[in-house]
Every structure is written in structure tokens, then in C-alpha cells.
Structure 1
């Protein structure tokens, strides 16, 4: 534990660059994290694609704050978990996309919660929503999937929210890998709420077959739960081999992303990655 100028008054550094001293919360200036690369197409035909994964808790919280966070991250793709699933769910998801400068690509109630938003930079080749086998007594799960193009780059995309039940979650991890393998693309990105820490067997199963983007090139913050007290990484982005990870993490120092908005938007923190995808 660090100490202030008064040795009897402890200082504890917090997850948002703040510390408490003598019962007061005081903001301090921390080293600025370098920004992730902007979206672009490289001279060799490869593309830098910005991908955001975000559990939005059915938009029960501050949707203006949620839209501000997404907009500030400037993503090409947003892999959503817990999208609205009930009354007027399509309108709610479309409203969030519009407020964030994006469009709805796939998912929502038809995928039992996962969804994909995208910028107009993406050319959509196809989409498919998949419902996974249901275990009696447990919430049904699904995948929102798509194949998109960025110039000459072709990319498979999958958004997921895995089960809270250990055995079902492990089986769903295998289904995720099978689905990526069957998408007919050389490169893909998958992301979502894994509901498990990196030392769990499902997380390790995914990491053994795919690249765990944060582990490959950590950037920003690590922990995604909870915004009020980040202490665990249960949300992640994974990429297939051949996709170069330029940086991945919670966008704590991203311009336009504020602590207040991160706390107000939902009960998870987002994961942002910049990926360089080879040309097809």
C-alpha cells in the first residue's frame, strides 16, 4: 500500500486512477495510455478493424451514457451481450445503434441476447442467429454471427454470452469453436461475456484454439466486472490465428470515455481491441 505525505494516512490506488485519503476520494493524474490505432486499410490490402465487446444489461441503465461510451470507442464492430429481448426489442437496439453512429447487423431476441452492431465501413456478406440447445431450468443461450468485408478483408464475427452453469458453459465453448470453423472464412473474431475467469476450463479451451486478445497485447484496463469495483476479467475478445492484435483492453483512457459513464452505462466494462486482419 502506498503512503501519502502523512505516514499515518494510507493511500490506495483505485481502478480509475483515484485514491482515498483520510476518508476522501481524490482524483490523481496517471500516465496516459497510448491510443489504439484508428480504423484503416493498409497499402498491402490488410485492414485495421476496431472491435468492441460490451454486456449492456438489456439497456436497463443509462442509455445516454452507454451510447457515449460506444461512440467514443469508435468501433467498426460491436459485439453486444444482453441486448433487449422483449417488448419492442428491435426498436431499442436500433435506437442504441443510431445514437452510437452505427447500424444493427444481427442478433437480439433471435439469438437469446447476443447482437452485433457495425459501422457503415463494413460490407455485410451474410448474418445468422443461432439458438443453442437449452438445458431445463437455465436461460437459453445463442450466438449472433456475421461475415463482413472491410475492403479486401473478409472477417467472420461471433457474439456470445456463455452459461453460468459450468458444464453447459464448457459445451458452449466447444460449439463456439465449431461455429467459427464452419463459417467458411480464414479469419474471425469472437467476443462476449464468458462468465468465467481466464483460469477456468472454458476460457482456457477458447484460449488454446484462439488468441486471447488481451493476453496477446494488453492495453488499457484488464478487469471487466464490476464497473464500481473491477476485480475480475470475465469478458473477452478472441481472434483466429493470423489476425494480429495491436492492443486490447478496457478503454479507461480513451478520449471521451469517462468514469461516470462507465459506471452508469451497465454492470460490465467494455473490451476494445484493434486488430490487423490480412487481406483475403
Structure 2
């Protein structure tokens, strides 16, 4: 871990229960719980997966490796129902990334974006949405799953930043499976422009892959400067989240973040 991350770790929440709950403040700002989760095309224990998601009580879930083949919409809808959420966008139309939300979120707009395809490699895409919480707290959200190939992954990180800027919402978040560790070029490119949630306000546990013996942090939540990160990390030990469910649900561990989104100016 870098020196900066070590210093941030001194402020880690003492207990899993310390992560703030969702709420809208009197000034119009909103505390939003966002979960990023690679679900491995629902090939594992979907009941365990749904239990983990529900226990995290998210307002937004950025999914990677959502179902994208035969009857993918049916499988996506089933996951949303099991997790007490609704489908927003993505899945096969974004080649895997998907966004789900609670009924608290008002969807202002959404778009699935296909990234340039390198022949012989898996096609990548982005699920994007602008969500509003309360009267005016707006959050731009991108769910992404970057390439396994370093050169392509670095280029895709730049495309993610360009897309977030084009969404033209000061409060924005990128969440996903980066297939890169914090000292990698793609992760560093994102963290150079955005705030890495774990580095800013570490909470819970750090490493996300593989779920049975996590050794690497390749999944992350990164936010623009307009977003206050209140806590971010793997929700191990959160009430209702068991080690058995985390291991059974999929091959990645989720990242849960509590974010304070400001009200619209004016």
C-alpha cells in the first residue's frame, strides 16, 4: 500500500456499522450508498448474491459481467427483484456493465456506450446514467469493466474519463472491475483525475479478488471532487453480510461506498 493509503487507513471506521445510511439532508444534499459488484454472469449462488446486495442497502448498484446472452433481460430483472432493486440500464447492450437502483433514485437519463473493439478481444462497454436523489442532488454514474490487456485498458480508462466529463454533472462516480491494481497505468489514470474511495476514506476491507482468498484490489469506486466520500471498501462484517455468502456469490468481492452528493447550485 502506498504511503498516502497508509495515512488514510488511520481514519478507517472502527466498525462495519459506522458506514452512513442513505438519507436526504435538509440542505438538499443526499447520502447515497453505491455498490460495485462483478457478478460473473450469475453463474454462482444467486441467492447468496442477493443476500449480500440487500444487506448492503444500496441506492445504486454498478454491476459488471451481468447476463448478456440468451434471455439476459429476464435474468437481469430476476436479480433486481431478488435484491429489492429496479433495472436502470446496461447488460447485453453494454456488453456486461449494468446499473440497478432503489426506488429512491429518479432516473433523469441513461445510455449504454460501446467502446472501440480490438479484433480478437472481448468487446467492452459502459452503462451510464444520471440519477437524482431528493429535489436536486444529481449524480452521474458509470459502471465499467476494463480490458485484460494493459494497452487497451489504459486507453479505455481515458474513454471513461471523457464520457464522465461529457455527462456534464459535477458530482460523478465511476465504479467497476478495473482489471488493474492501484499502481497500474489504467487505475492510476483514473485516480489521477478522480478520488479513489478506498484511498480517501477506507472502510471495511481492501482486496477484492479472488473472493475466496482476496489478494488484489482491482475493483474500485472513484468520484469527482464534488462528491464527498464518507467510507469505501469491501463490506465484510457488515450486518447480514457473511463470509460464506461473499465466497459463494461470485469470484469478486463487492465494494460499497457511502457518498455525499451536493444539491444543485442555485
TM-score, L = length of structure 2: 0.93
Q: Cα offset for 1:84?
A: 0.3
Q: Which runs of 4+ in 1 moved over 6 A?
A: none
Q: Name the CA distance, whole Å, in 1 between partners of 2:163 and 2:115.
A: 11
Q: Which runs of 5+ in 2 are unaligned?
A: 1-13
TM-score, L = length of structure 1: 0.88
| Post-superposition CA distance 1:2-32 (Å, at most 9, x none) | xxxxxxxxxxxxxxxxxxxxxxxxxxxxx74
Any residues of structure 2 matched to 1:85-234 within 5 Å, and which?
85-151=68-134, 152-234=136-218
Q: Name the CA distance, whole Å, in 1 between partners of 2:68 and 2:18.
A: 34
Q: Which residue of 2 aligns with 1:18?
A: none
SS at match of 2:132: strand
SS at match of 1:242: coil
SS at match of 1:174: helix
| Post-superposition CA distance 1:221-253 (Å, at most 9, x none) | 000001110111000001011210000000001
SS at match of 2:118: coil
Q: 1:75 aligns with which of 35, 40, 58?
A: 58
Q: Which residue of 1 aligns with 2:7?
A: none
Q: Which residue of 2 aligns with 1:40?
A: 23
Residues 1:241 and 2:225 aligned together:
yes
Q: 1:277 aligns with which of 258, 261, 266?
A: 261
Residues 1:51 and 2:34 aligned together:
yes
Q: Would you say the 8 A contact 1:35–1:254 is kept in 2? A: no
SS at match of 1:274: strand
Q: Cα offset for 1:115?
A: 0.1
The structure in which a higher percent of residues are helix is 2
| Post-superposition CA distance 1:96-117 (Å, at most 9, x none) | 0000000000000000000000
**What do you get for the CA RMSD once the two structures are aligned?**
0.8
Q: Would you say the 8 A contact 1:102–1:120 is kept in 2? A: yes
How many residues get paired? Answer: 250
SS at match of 1:86: coil
Q: Name the CA distance, whole Å, in 1 between partners of 2:114 and 2:153.
A: 14
Q: Name the CA distance, whole Å, in 1 between partners of 2:18 and 2:210.
A: 23
Q: Which runs of 5+ in 1 are unaligned?
A: 1-30
SS at match of 2:220: strand
Q: Name the CA distance, whole Å, in 2 between partners of 1:153 and 1:33.
A: 26
Larger relative contact order, structure 1 or 2 (CA cutoff 8 Å, min sep 6) = 2
